[in-house]
A and B are shown apart, each in its own frame.
Chain A
């Protein structure tokens, strides 16, 4: 069914909560996540979305591509200007770390430490609701690779945070 403009705007608004989480899982700070969400919405408004696409999945895909572009650009800048590599990893959650908050902070560090390729596949599946097959297509890897990256990412988080303690 073809979306009209009003439907598209409504769906875009509805998609923001999930998309914001997805963007944050990739960018790892709130400001960059919001920039990604905004750019994604603007991209969809400008170019539309396939009628048969599930909008949130389509947006997650665009969001990821934008994030990849940013990473590449950042890498180029870092290569050119080594002094800007010491970016602080801004956390939305500050101090007062007790109990759950300590666990949350520990988890945040573990997520930060995940290599991008593991974090992105975990985000795509767990936050973006992408299927294994869709993730494999997007990433250009076999489904088996998606599965093993997911397992490694989960195992690495479990190892780092020691949830079983």
Chain B
């Protein structure tokens, strides 16, 4: 039942969740949250309700797309292919884009899953994740060391047994140098990530998690395999990349500069 009056704190917390408070309002609220346990609990409840809303809405991704809509999208894609038949410049994600076209219902889920995860992991401090809340990768960590030195195409095993595979490096539209890399664990978890160099540090800009975990109920999308997580990465890269990926020579030069972006590169 919708109440006719709204708790002013609910309005404030709701706006906080949407990132709609100005800096001063946010500062005051965050201070209150550290001293008022009930307010913090209310924020938690409202955040959970929104997360549940997102998850329920995402259930559409598991529903087969109507034939009419699917056919319309095929026409759009085919028309673009006819007009631009030689788009193979970026094998990694153009390849996954093809898979994305053939499984649109799954791709739909992935793309938004990626967005949701990005939102959860990067834009929402406090959300549980495998990464620090602020996305900062500790300079002394193994991953930071590998990001500094390992070329794309290379792989490594971390001390905890996880595998790292470096996909590609590129300059982002905001001028930073970024690296896409995958992390896989023995339990089947798989993450496709992008980290960008920010002054002295690498900061996570994107992360999409695939979990493998038993049988997925029929009709529910299973984001278990890395090709699917790569489709999410694919969509992110398409939006973020400025120009071509760095060549091996570019990467060597960038590594020599500790991956700091230079205007004349």
A-side residues, CB < 8 A to B, are 6, 9-10, 12-14, 16-18, 20-21, 24-25, 30-31, 33-35, 37-38, 41-42, 92-94, 96, 101, 103-104, 107-108, 111, 114-115, 118, 122-123, 125-127, 131-132, 147-148, 150-159, 161, 163-164
Contacts of B59 in A (CB 8 A): 92-93, 104, 108
Cβ of B32 under 8 Å from chain A: no
Contact pick for B14, options A35, A123, A151, CB 8 Å? A151
Given contacts A30-B63, A150-B18, A155-B3, contact A24 B57 (CB under 8 A): yes
The tally of residues in B whose CB lies under 8 Å from a CB in A reads: 58
Q: List 23 A-B contacts (CB under 8 A).
A: A6-B79, A9-B80, A12-B76, A13-B77, A14-B111, A17-B108, A30-B63, A30-B66, A34-B65, A93-B219, A96-B217, A104-B59, A108-B59, A111-B57, A125-B18, A132-B20, A147-B11, A152-B6, A154-B10, A155-B6, A158-B49, A163-B48, A163-B52
- Tell me whether chain A's interface is mostly helix, strand or loop, or mixed: helix
The distance from the CB of B206 to the nearest CB of chain A, in whole angstroms, is 16
CB-based contact B14/A150 at 8 Å: yes
CB-based contact A154/B50 at 8 Å: yes
The distance from the CB of A21 to the nearest CB of chain B, in whole angstroms, is 5
CB-based contact A21/B3 at 8 Å: no
CB-based contact B66/A31 at 8 Å: yes
Contacts of A96 in B (CB 8 A): 217
In the bound complex, CA of A58 to CA of B61 (Å): 21
Contacts of B60 in A (CB 8 A): 20-21, 24, 30, 33, 92
The distance from the CB of A163 to the nearest CB of chain B, in whole angstroms, is 4
CB-based contact B76/A9 at 8 Å: yes
